[in-house]
């Protein structure tokens, strides 16, 4: 056989193999396309909440709320928000009366826009088997004195109602509608609890005025004050620059200072910062009218001033001036203010320092500016 014959046979074989491979690829592509377009088997999914459960759910934010902020609808007379929480509360149990509440709130919003009377009132429910302090919130349309319509909306929250129950018997209380939010599923209502102002409550005997603080001034306290004045007059007065230099000298340098110096400065800083007389668990305000205690505080402040150039808090010096003024100790007040101004009128920073300097000028303790 000639060489060309085998070339022909080889070519035929290659063509045959190529056609076979092409058909197989086509079949594979057909099956793959068929598999991709074939509907997938639907997987079973857990059932969602029942319709009854869905009704109990709060309306999602995406559904939106119909919000209305009510204008003034408090009953006639003087009222302020009672001191329970913020004075506001959410009416409880609205869901059980949802449709009636929705209708009332829409009518109340319309009345508000038209300038017609509407509002709410409180009604105790002492026979309530769940809570003897229970208090109903009743919505009203028409004048508070003679409403044309009343709708039971819900209850005052139990914790708020318990505090209201502690009010003296006969204490006038009221309520004012503040804001309603109506959603597709739920509805909320904010109210403000009201009672008469403090002066009226006290005049009617429902509340006692807090006792006025007793100003404690005796010969011993006045003697300590005189000693403090003498000390301030004898101390050299520092300029602002000198005070800053003293503070710099006593400032802790954790790089340059040795360990013993650091510990000493830390102890002095703590002593200047934490006055022993301020550690009373009853709080410093109880000493506002105690001259001896105020003198003690200012004396400790002077210790820190001499040691580290840390200016003492001016509040306690101000209290000394106020106490002396109430006791008609005019000359002692002037002497104290003059001695204090020698040291702190220029170096003290802040409104209280400025107030003390101005007080000293008005009293004639220092020359007018």
Q: How many helices (H) and strands (E) does the chain have?
A: 12, 8
Structure tokens belonging to residue 313: 């808090």
Beta bridge mates, 180: 68, 189
Q: In what helix (H) or strand (E) does residue 187 lie, and over which residues does it extend?
A: strand 187-195
- Classify residue 325 as exposed, middle or buried by CB count within 10 Å of its CB (0-12, 13-18, 19+): middle
pLDDT digits (tens, 9 = 90+) for 274-291: 444 444 545 567 788 899
For residue 250, what pLDDT is reported?
61
User: Mean pLDDT in the chain?
Assistant: 80
pLDDT band for 155, please (50, 70, 90 cuts). very high
For residue 307, what pLDDT is reported?
77
Contact 130, 143 (CB under 8 A): no
pLDDT digits (tens, 9 = 90+) for 23-57: 555 454 444 444 444 443 333 334 444 444 433 34
Largest Cα separation within the chain, whole Å, is 146
Q: In what helix (H) or strand (E) does residue 177 lie, and over which residues does it extend?
A: strand 174-182
């Amino acid at each position: 056989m000639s060489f060309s014959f085998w070339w022909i046979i080889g070519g035929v074989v290659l063509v045959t193999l190529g056609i076979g491979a092409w058909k197989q690829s086509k079949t594979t592509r057909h099956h793959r396309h068929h598999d991709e377009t074939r509907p997938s088997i639907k997987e079973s999914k857990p059932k969602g909440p029942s319709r009854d459960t869905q009704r109990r759910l709060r309306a999602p934010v995406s559904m939106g709320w119909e919000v209305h902020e009510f204008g003034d609808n408090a009953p006639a007379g003087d009222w302020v928000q009672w001191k329970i929480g913020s004075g506001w509360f959410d009416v409880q149990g609205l869901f059980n009366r949802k449709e009636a509440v929705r209708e009332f709130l829409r009518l109340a919003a319309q009345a508000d826009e038209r300038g017609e009377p509407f509002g709410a009132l409180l009604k105790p429910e002492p026979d309530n088997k769940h809570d003897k302090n229970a208090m109903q919130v009743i919505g009203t349309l028409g004048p508070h004195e003679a409403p044309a319509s009343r709708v039971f909306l819900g209850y005052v929250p139990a914790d708020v109602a318990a505090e209201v129950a502690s009010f003296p018997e006969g204490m006038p209380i009221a309520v004012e509608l503040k804001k309603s939010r109506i959603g597709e599923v739920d509805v909320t209502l904010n109210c403000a609890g009201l009672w008469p102002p403090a002066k009226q409550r006290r005049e009617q005997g429902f509340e006692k005025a807090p006792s006025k603080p007793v100003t404690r001034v005796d010969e011993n306290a006045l003697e300590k004050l005189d000693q403090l004045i003498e000390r301030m007059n004898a101390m050299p007065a520092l300029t602002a620059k000198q005070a800053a230099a003293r503070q710099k000298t006593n400032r802790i340098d954790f790089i340059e200072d040795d360990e013993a110096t650091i510990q000493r400065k830390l102890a002095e800083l703590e002593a200047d910062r934490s006055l022993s007389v301020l550690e009373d668990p009853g709080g410093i305000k109880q000493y506002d009218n105690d001259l001896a205690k105020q003198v003690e505080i200012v004396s400790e402040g002077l210790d820190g001033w001499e040691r580290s150039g840390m200016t003492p808090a001016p509040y306690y010096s101000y209290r000394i001036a106020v106490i002396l003024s109430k006791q008609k100790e005019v000359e002692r007040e002037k002497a104290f203010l003059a001695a204090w101004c020698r040291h702190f009128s220029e170096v003290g920073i802040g409104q209280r320092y400025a107030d003390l300097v101005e007080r000293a000028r008005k009293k004639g303790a220092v020359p007018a500016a």
